[in-house]
Structure formats: structure tokens, C-alpha cells
Amino acid sequence: MANATRPVLPQSRRMRLCEVGYEDIPKLSSLFAQTRMYPLLLDSPTRFIDVAAIVACVQRLYASSHGLGAWQAEAPDGAFIGLFSLLPIEGTADVEIHVRLKPEAWGRWYAIEGTRLLCQRAFEVVGLPRLFGYCHPDHQRVRRIMSYFGFRDLGLCEHRRQMAHCYELDAETWRERGATLAH
């Protein structure tokens, strides 16, 4: 069940995004362990201390960024779906979107719903001029999702010391497409 004291972001009909807390370490460790074998750009730590360090970083980001962070996705019944985030890109003023779902949530449109919620937050709440997304070159589903939302494929680049497809979505494109993607 969701912790009622934690801030909740806008939600879709089938899920809500809630701030991540230390009580979520077991869920996050399990998520990282389940998705470790798939083509990812981010590390998948599972040790308690490593996941606690991630939660501490996210807590600092909530306090200092005015709208960025990572949020756990929950079904209306409180079942954990995955993790969605808007994270600063190191050494720049830019932000990247990131989604990691439990394998049993794949193919159920949660990535589309969560991406829409994060784009809304990025452009309408935080006021970002643009948003970046990166995916492993072999991850075709993510590439299709990026295209669906109007992210422009900027081609291959190095990201987090590995090759990735880079995508960019600007606020104007979001405003033009966002209303049609609302449902």
C-alpha cells in the first residue's frame, strides 16, 4: 500500500507515481535484480547499501531540484510496477527521462502512461525547454516509445560509458503533441 504521507505526482487511470523512500529499498533491489539481464544503460545495484545510496541521492534531488527526481509507480491497489525518473545529465543543464519496469509490467502500456506523466511534469511543472532520452541500441521498444511521443532520434552517442541512441523532445513539440497523447 502507498505511504499516504509521501507526495504523489499526477496520476493516470491505472497508476500513480510516488516519491521514493528508504522503505522502498527492497522493492528497488528486486526491480534492479529482475532487469539486470536486459540491455540497459544504468547500473543495477542490488546490495542494500548501494540501493540506499541511490535513495539518498534521490532524496537530495527532491530537495534541491524543484521538480526532478525518481518516483515509484504503483497500481491503484498499491502493487509496485517500476521506477520512473527525471534526472539531471551530469555536466550539463539538461535532464533525461528514464523508465524501468518490472518484467511482468512490460507490454501493458505502463511505459506509455508513465512517460506521458513525466513529460507533463518536465514541461508543464518544471518548465524544461527540452528533455533527453537514451536507450540501449538493441532496445527497440524504447525506441518506438520515444518516437510515439515525438522525441527526435539524434543518432548514436556515448552515454554512461557505452553506446546509446540519443533522443530529444522540445517543449514546443510536446505542447503540439501533448494534448493528442493525453488519453
Span 85-124, pLDDT tens digits: 999 998 899 999 999 999 888 888 899 999 999 999 999 8
Cα 64 from chain centre: 18
Three-state DSSP string of 59-103: HHHHHHHCCCEEEEEECCCCCEEEEEEEEECCCCCCEEEEEEECH
Span 4-59, pLDDT tens digits: 555 657 688 899 999 999 999 999 998 888 865 555 545 677 788 888 999 999 99
Show the cell assigned to 174.
Answer: 510536446
The pTM of the full predicted model, rounded to 2 decimals, is: 0.86
Instruction: Tell me how crowded residue 155 is: count the other CB atoms within 10 A of its CB.
Output: 8
